[in-house]
Amino acid sequence: MKYSQFYAPTKKDVAKTDSINAYLLTKAGYVSQVAAGVYALLPLGLRSIKKIEQIVREEMDAIGGNEVSFTALQSEKLWQDSGRWDDENFRSILYKDQESGMTLAPTHEEPMVVAVKEAIQSYRDLPVLLYQFQTKFRKELRPKSGLLRGREFRMKDLYSFHLNDEDHQKFYEIIAGAYTKSYDRIGLESYRVKASGGFFTKQFSDEFQVICETGEDEILVNHDKKTGYNKEVEDQIPASEKDKLERVKGIEVGNIFHLETKYSKPLGLEVLDEKGERQTVIMGSYGIGISRLLGTLAEVFNDENGLKMPKQVAPFHIYIIDMTDTGKGEELAELLEKEGYEVLLDDRETSNGGKMVDADLLGMPIRLVYSKKTAEADSIEVKVRETGEVSLVKEKDLLNHLKKLLS
């Protein structure tokens, strides 16, 4: 891909904010702010989001999830039937349209229950595992921290339906493992942290937190086990565990909940069990903040020069700068694209210094520079953005070198 044909509007002058991710993602042209807590994804940002989603999709499919796409609009009646339309706990996050009797969905338990209720009758039809990637809306009263707390955001939500609590608990552990694997693949070290079940359940819920000094959450973690507790349940930590925990700041990147029968019971979701008796279906809810993950990556992987995106979710693998008029840059780009790499060739009519600055700002894993000096040595300059290491690599060895760096 040629930069001249790609929309990546970097900015020299961006007002400093208390949010690293908002500052860097805006400056690097990944996002554009529409309003407080509302960001448009530009081409670079969308490319990363799609890669994040694909990793999560693969892990959800691997445990038996079925991808769906539900509407953002939901009816007032459905939420009245579940008891949430006038629930004080949800009133602050609902975008209500009283005239049409609809709401922009902050979550999807109710419509998922309705869809499953229409299709299942027996215990033989369970479990059902439905997930989606969708834009959510919440009446966030204090939108801040860029993509970490917004009024509109991208989310993966999965809902599971089980005959009994035993089956639900087994799946709960399975999806917890899938979440950990997803974050590992994205490049983030996550901690499974016990938190309040809120108005869903008296059981603990589980948050997945990434340790970060700029995080809003205060958590107590065991580094050896990669587990911990949210400060909100600190009074419930067993005394035997407290001396093994460190108090740190974190960013919540996902959560899983035991819903029990909170939504299935009022909406009448029942099946016949093995004895022919009617049983209310047990549910679970599991969310991953997709756009929040992009914000978290920006908070964790950066330096004074810009972003340092992990190779598996970076918009492009390789950034090429050709300082000559030989056409070598295009030749390299064509070669590398045939090898399966995603390449951004900076062919803009701007200074080489400016191109070098933007290469660091955008944060692609590898930067290649071809110049008269490297040409004399039959070499290409290779810079690894993560470490800052710069080396001269012979052209004949370039492919093997890149394979080692990007494997």
Are 96 and 195 contained in the same domain?
yes
Q: Which pLDDT band holds residue 91 (cuts at 50, 70, 90)?
A: low
Encode pLDDT of 231-275 as tens digits: 999 999 999 999 999 999 999 999 999 999 999 999 999 999 999
Shared domain for 56 and 187, answered yes or no, is yes
**Kind plus residue range of the DSSP H or E element containing 322:** strand 318-322
Whether residue 300 contacts residue 360, with contact meaning beta carbons closer than 8 Å, is answered with: no
Q: Do both 58 and 156 map to the same domain?
A: yes
What is the CATH classification number for the domain harbouring 392?
A: 3.40.50.800
Its domain, for residue 141, covers 7-302
- The least confident of 70-74, 136-140, 281-285 is 136-140
pLDDT of 177 higher than 80: yes
Residue 93 to residues 96, 178, 267: CA-CA distances in angstroms?
9, 28, 22
Q: Are residues 260 and 330 in the same domain?
A: no
Model confidence at 8, pLDDT cuts 50, 70, 90, reads very high
Q: What is the pLDDT of residue 88?
A: 67
User: Is residue 96 pLDDT above 80, yes or no?
Assistant: no
Axis crossing angle, helix 20-27 with helix 290-300, rounded to the nearest 10: 90
- pLDDT, tens digit, for every residue of 20-40? 999 999 999 999 999 989 999
Out of 302, 332, 360, a domain closes at 302
Residue 12 lies in a domain: yes
- Per-residue pLDDT at 230 exceeds 80: yes
User: Does residue 15 surpass a pLDDT of 90?
Assistant: no
Residue 133 has what pLDDT?
Answer: 98
For the chain, the average pLDDT equals 94
Query: How does residue 119 score in pLDDT terms, banded at 50, 70 and 90?
Result: very high
Kindly state the average pLDDT of the residues 217-241.
96
Looking at residue 205, its amino acid is S
Q: How many distinct structural domains can be found in the chain?
A: 2
137-166 per-position pLDDT tens digit:
888 777 888 999 889 999 999 999 999 999
What DSSP state is assigned to residue 293?
H
What's the average model confidence in pLDDT over 349-371? 97
Question: Which residues make Cβ contacts (< 8 Å) with residue 228, sequence separation at least 6?
Answer: 191, 192, 193, 194, 209, 219, 220, 221, 222, 245
Asked whether residue 345 falls in the same domain as residue 294, the answer is: no
Q: Which of 267, 302, 337 is the last residue of a domain?
A: 302
Q: Is residue 310 part of a domain?
A: no
**pLDDT at site 104:** 86
Cα distances from 197 to residues 15, 262, 270, 328, in angstroms, run 38, 12, 24, 58
CATH, residue 173? 3.30.930.10
pLDDT of residue 92: 65
Return d(Cα 83, Cα 267) in angstroms, integer.
10
Q: What is the mean pLDDT of residues 173-178?
A: 98
Q: For residue 87, what pLDDT is reported?
A: 75
Convert the pLDDT of each residue in 392-404 to its tens digit. Answer: 999 999 999 999 9
